[in-house]
């Protein structure tokens, strides 16, 4: 019955094809596969569609076993017998943890060259009833061989999985490393790593010996074990390659009287990784057996910021500090928070005087600055609490575009470039962008990588239909409901958008209707010094919005006068960077947000070309530009 219904529906669709082709020759058809691919066709190019309902035999019976030669990193792949309709078999062999949460449809996508390259695997062909030598696999690692059969017309079947673990064979030679500790202080040490001649390279990390956050960190990053963690993050920071020769690691800002371990993974001459090696040292003890205290001074209080100075006494080994709104304060909860929260970047331990300017505070709000210290015997002292209140002076409304910096980040990630040229900006992977720019101070001012919601305060997310901001098509969108973040506040509003034309290369918007941020926006794909850029202009309309419509904003004369309050930002079409060279310079611009996409290996970013501008998830396989927001 189901097959009959399907044939009836398909027959109806086929009957419509000739009329569609005659009536609207520019119509297109999109076929969405469950693996995520989109296949586009023009209706006028389609002659007919044929569905084959016959049964095919694409069964596979592969095995992967230890190789008879006993060499480390070698396995034997036996394809075995195959179904009668199998004409081709493709194979990829990723590590099992990389695909542990993938279903068969997601695994299908891995057989595309781009996805295989991102996973760091190769796609190769095998034949039925044949055997193949697999070499270069890592000892002790667990892999899953994915087999994809094809029939005589090139139609793929279902993915076959075969999981196997490579025996933990012997390393080539006798690779060893010596770690010497010197300059051991209360807050750090120097570790000198000296490998022998059988070591071709190595990875290492300095980690607190009993770090309670390590397992949680590995789970969050989907790293299966400590060895993988060291290999992934323990390479040379500058070259991103394994360390070679003698290396000196100078560690600072550690906790006094605390055990730390240098974890090392060696590489032998054949590229095989050793088991994790551990070398432990303890920092010098600080403080006394007397009760430890921290004094607090709060200064430079503004509407949204306050600077807190924490000074420990001579009895203190380490301490922690934070602030909390007075209305939310519960002393027992805060003491537990300071004492029991695992060490992390948001709540670290300090051992020296520490000054921090807290941003994004609420105007006219009372806070407590808090601190607690441990003495030299690891005993907690009393809670220090200082009350302060932020200012409540009214200020003029600042549009979100004002927080966007005027220039891109440079290649070193330490400062801004000084022009909008296409080839001067830095390119960063998504992971590096989040790591480097979540919070950064440049020339004494604090900045951060914007979230998706902060970028949405500048321009909308890509529409499922016609683009909201098209430079070349006169689309109309009214009362589009959006929720964004401006200076830490969540703002919901309705917005009107108008597309442009090929001759104008401009789009316009009336944004944040019904809020104090109501404003006129212009988006232009234009040339600056003969180079493609995106120019964004925003004009506040608060108090004037009742007299201005989106149709007025879309007229050129609207922007020819009253420009004194306009805010302008320019973003170059600097493209992206992969495989050692830039791509799409002069055609496209891509700018990371700090927000990961819902799909694995994606993240939200601003994208623009000569036709439109929008926010959408992009694959994290390429390095892209960074434009920061001021705190």
Q: For residues 483 and 500, is the Cβ–Cβ distance under 8 A? A: no
The three-state secondary structure class of 78 is: strand
Residue 15 has pLDDT above 90, yes or no: no
Of 509 and 54, which is predicted with more confidence?
Answer: 509
pLDDT of res. 13: 45
pLDDT of res. 486: 94
Q: For residues 96 and 163, is the Cβ–Cβ distance under 8 A? A: yes
As to burial, measured by CB atoms within 10 angstroms (0-12 exposed, 13-18 middle, 19+ buried), residue 434 is middle
CATH of 177-283 given 2.60.40.10, 2.60.40.650, 3.30.300.210, 3.40.50.300? 2.60.40.10
Q: For residues 276 and 261, is the Cβ–Cβ distance under 8 A? A: no
Length of the chain: 631
Question: What's the predicted TM-score (pTM) here?
Answer: 0.54
Query: Could you report the per-residue pLDDT of 135-145, keeping only the tens digit for each?
Result: 999 999 999 99
Q: What is the percent of the chain with per-residue pLDDT over 70, rounded to a whole number?
A: 94
Q: Which residues contact 179 (CB under 8 A, 6 or more apart)?
A: 191, 192, 193, 194, 262, 264, 279
Candidate from 2-11, 45-54, 515-524 with smallest mean pLDDT: 2-11
CA distance 162 to 64: 7
CA distance 482 to 454: 12
Query: Could you report the per-residue pLDDT of 258-298, keeping only the tens digit for each?
Result: 999 999 999 999 999 999 999 999 999 999 999 999 999 99
User: Average pLDDT for residues 538-555, to the nearest whole number?
Assistant: 88
pLDDT of res. 464: 66
Instruction: Share the mean pLDDT of the chain.
Output: 91
Residue 4 has pLDDT above 60, yes or no: no
When pLDDT is cut at 50, 70 and 90, the band that residue 240 belongs to is very high
pLDDT of res. 43: 76
Q: Which of 216, 206, 258, 209 is nearest to 237 (CA)?
A: 206
pLDDT of res. 390: 87
pLDDT of res. 35: 62
Calculate the CA dihedral of residues 6, 11, 13, 19 and round it to 10 degrees.
Answer: 180
Cα distances (angstroms) measured from residue 450 to each of 220, 344, 438, 595, 600: 22, 22, 8, 8, 20
Domains 63-166 and 294-390 share a fold: yes
The fold of 63-166 is Immunoglobulin-like (2.60.40)
pLDDT of res. 9: 38
Q: What is the percent of the chain with per-residue pLDDT over 90, rounded to a whole number?
A: 75
The three-state secondary structure class of 451 is: coil
Query: Could you report the per-residue pLDDT of 381-440, keeping only the tens digit for each?
Result: 999 999 998 887 544 678 999 999 999 999 999 999 999 999 999 999 999 999 999 999
Q: Residue 28 is inside which H or E element, if any?
A: strand 28-32
Instruction: Write down the domain spans for the chain.
Output: 63-166, 177-283, 294-390, 400-630
> To the nearest 5 percent, what fractions of the chain are helix, strand and coil?
15, 40, 45
User: Average pLDDT for residues 55-68, to the nearest whole number?
Assistant: 96
Residue 56 has pLDDT above 60, yes or no: yes
Q: Which of 87, 102, 110, 108 is nearest to 33 (CA)?
A: 108
**Which CATH code is given to the segment(s) 294-390?**
2.60.40.10
Residue 239 has pLDDT above 60, yes or no: yes
pLDDT of res. 1: 34
Query: Could you report the per-residue pLDDT of 309-352, keeping only the tens digit for each?
Result: 999 999 999 999 999 999 999 999 999 999 999 888 889 999 99
Q: Cite the beta strand spans of 227-258 per DSSP E.
A: 247-251
pLDDT of res. 2: 34
Residue 465 has pLDDT above 70, yes or no: no
How many Cα atoms occupy the beta-carbon half-sphere of 112 within 13 Å?
11
CA distance 169 to 435: 36
């Amino acid at each position: 019955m189901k097959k009959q219904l399907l044939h009836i529906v398909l027959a109806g669709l086929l009957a419509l094809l000739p009329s569609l082709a005659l009536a609207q020759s520019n119509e297109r058809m999109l076929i969405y596969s469950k693996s995520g691919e989109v296949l586009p066709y023009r209706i006028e190019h389609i002659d007919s569609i044929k569905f084959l309902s016959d049964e095919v035999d694409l069964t596979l019976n592969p095995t992967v076993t230890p190789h008879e030669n006993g060499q480390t990193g070698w396995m034997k792949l036996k394809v075995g017998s195959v179904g009668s309709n199998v004409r081709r078999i493709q194979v990829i062999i990723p590590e099992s943890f990389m695909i542990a949460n993938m279903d068969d449809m997601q695994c299908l996508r891995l057989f595309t060259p781009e996805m295989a390259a991102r996973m760091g695997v190769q796609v190769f062909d095998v034949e039925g009833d044949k055997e193949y030598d697999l070499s270069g696999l890592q000892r002790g690692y667990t892999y899953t061989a994915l087999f994809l059969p094809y029939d005589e017309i090139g139609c793929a079947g279902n993915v076959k999985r075969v999981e196997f673990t490579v025996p933990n064979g012997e390393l080539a030679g006798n690779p060893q490393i010596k770690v010497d500790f010197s300059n051991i202080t209360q807050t750090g040490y120097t570790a000198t790593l000296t490998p022998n001649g059988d070591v071709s390279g190595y990875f290492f990390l300095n980690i607190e010996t009993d770090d309670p956050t390590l397992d949680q960190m590995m789970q969050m990053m989907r790293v299966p074990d400590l060895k993988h963690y060291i290999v992934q993050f323990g390479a040379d920071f500058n070259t991103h390659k394994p360390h070679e020769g003698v290396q000196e690691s100078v560690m600072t800002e550690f906790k006094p009287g605390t055990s730390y371990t240098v974890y090392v993974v060696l590489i032998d001459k054949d590229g095989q990784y050793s088991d994790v090696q551990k070398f432990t040292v303890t920092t010098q003890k600080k403080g006394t057996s007397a009760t430890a205290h921290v004094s607090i001074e709060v200064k430079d209080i503004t509407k949204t910021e306050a600077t807190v100075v924490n000074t420990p006494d001579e009895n203190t080994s380490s301490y922690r500090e934070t602030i909390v709104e007075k209305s939310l304060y519960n002393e027992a909860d805060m003491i537990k928070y300071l004492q029991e929260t695992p060490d992390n970047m948001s709540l670290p331990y300090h051992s020296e005087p520490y000054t921090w300017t807290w941003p994004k505070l609420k105007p006219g709000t009372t806070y407590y600055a808090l601190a607690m210290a441990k003495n030299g015997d690891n005993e907690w002292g009393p809670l220090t609490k200082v009350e302060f209140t932020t200012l409540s002076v009214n200020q003029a409304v600042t549009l979100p575009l004002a927080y966007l910096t005027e220039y891109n980040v440079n290649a070193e990630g330490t400062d801004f470039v000084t022009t909008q040229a296409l080839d001067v900006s830095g390119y960063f992977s998504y992971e590096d962008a989040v790591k480097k720019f979540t919070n950064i101070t440049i020339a004494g001012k604090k900045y951060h990588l914007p979230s998706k919601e902060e970028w949405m305060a500048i321009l909308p997310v890509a529409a499922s239909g016609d683009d909201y901001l098209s430079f070349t098509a006169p689309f109309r969108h009214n009362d589009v409901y959006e929720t964004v973040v401006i200076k830490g506040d969540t703002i919901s509003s309705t917005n009107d958008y108008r597309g442009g034309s090929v001759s104008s290369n401009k789009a316009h918007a009336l944004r944040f209707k019904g809020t104090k941020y109501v404003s006129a926006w212009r988006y232009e794909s234009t040339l600056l010094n003969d180079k493609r850029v995106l120019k964004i202009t925003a004009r506040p309309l608060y108090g004037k919005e009742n007299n201005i419509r989106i149709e007025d904003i879309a007229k050129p004369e609207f922007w020819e006068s009253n420009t004194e309050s306009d805010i302008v930002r320019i973003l170059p079409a600097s493209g992206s960077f992969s495989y050692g060279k830039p791509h799409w310079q002069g055609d496209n611009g891509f700018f990371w947000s700090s927000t990961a996409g819902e799909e694995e290996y994606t993240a939200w970013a601003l994208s623009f070309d000569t036709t439109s501008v929008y926010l959408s998830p992009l694959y994290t396989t390429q390095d892209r530009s960074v434009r920061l927001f001021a705190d």
